[in-house]
Structure 1
Amino acid sequence: MAKTKLNAQREHRIEMEIVVDAYTEEERALSWHCYLDEQLSFPFKASVRKAMDSSPLPTGEHVLVTGLAHEDLCRVGIFVWVRWGERDVVAPLAQIDPLNGDKATRVAVADWHYWRDQGYAF
């Protein structure tokens, strides 16, 4: 995937507020999980921005995001619980675009998308 254009403000927030003092993969994963747990307000409506091998959700599908997955699952990526039709499934946050939600939720999801789109990893 092509990197997105560097965003100095977002880079600073990620480095100084989210992963500051996180030196290992596990620490960075936990830092991201804690940040998102504090910032995301559930539930919020979302669309699926791209299909991913780790999820059954197709591009363009509308879902209701109902919660952040347990931190143990989020050691390899950030996952959220979504209501998809009659099912509750776990999906990568990288796959989800909020359609509504408060500003903090939209900014936090955009931060995660930016991090992933830049090719950064835990």
Structure 2
Amino acid sequence: MSDVETNETREERIKNEILVDAEDKEDRAMGWYYYLDDCLNFPFNAKWAKKGRKGTAPEKDVEVLAMATEEECLRDMLVEVVEVGGKDEDVDIARLTDLKVLDADEDTQEALDDWYYWVAKGYKF
């Protein structure tokens, strides 16, 4: 069990808005996907510490451009990012949980906080 304190407001939003009709893993993943796609106002800036098998790479300043495809988000919520000052064709895919948001509007921050809360609580699709 997670040691993250339960936030009743967030729990209600997750239950009644994000996962309202979800019956299985795919439904839960798509509930999160569409909620985040609707609520995140792209682009926004973040620091990305890419985690891999060899540890964590140094942080990069990135611009978060969009959600990855539905198919890519069936196991985790992923977004398209490009390094600040980089070329638009140099788009990478990042896990939302690997990002530290630097500037986002209120709606975007609330949706991201909902996702981070879900993950920190140890909930699964």
After TM superposition, the score normalised by the length of structure 1 is 0.87
* Pair 1:100–1:19, CA change in 2 (3 A): same
Other structure's SS at 2:116 match: helix
1:104 is matched with which residue? 107
CA distance in 1, matches of 2:67, 2:56: 17
1:80 is matched with which residue? 79
1:70 is matched with which residue? 69
Count, aligned residues? 120
Report percent identity of matched pairs: 35
Other structure's SS at 1:9 match: helix
CA distance in 2, matches of 1:59, 1:121: 28
1:95 is matched with which residue? 98
Q: Would the aligned equivalents of 2:50 and 2:94 in 1 still touch at CA under 8 Å?
A: no
* Pair 1:25–1:65, CA change in 2 (3 A): same
Pick the structure with greater CA Rg: 2
1:118 is matched with which residue? 121
2:45 is matched with which residue? 45
1:14 is matched with which residue? 14
Unaligned runs of 5+ in 1: none
CA distance in 2, matches of 1:57, 1:83: 18
One-letter amino acid of the counterpart of residue 73, structure 1: E
Other structure's SS at 2:52 match: coil
* Pair 1:79–1:57, CA change in 2 (3 A): farther
Q: CA-to-partner distance for each residue in 1:93-121, whole Å, 9 max, x for gaps?
A: 11112211211111111111110111111
Q: Would the aligned equivalents of 1:46 and 1:65 in 2 still touch at CA under 8 Å?
A: yes
Q: Would the aligned equivalents of 1:3 and 1:119 in 2 still touch at CA under 8 Å?
A: no
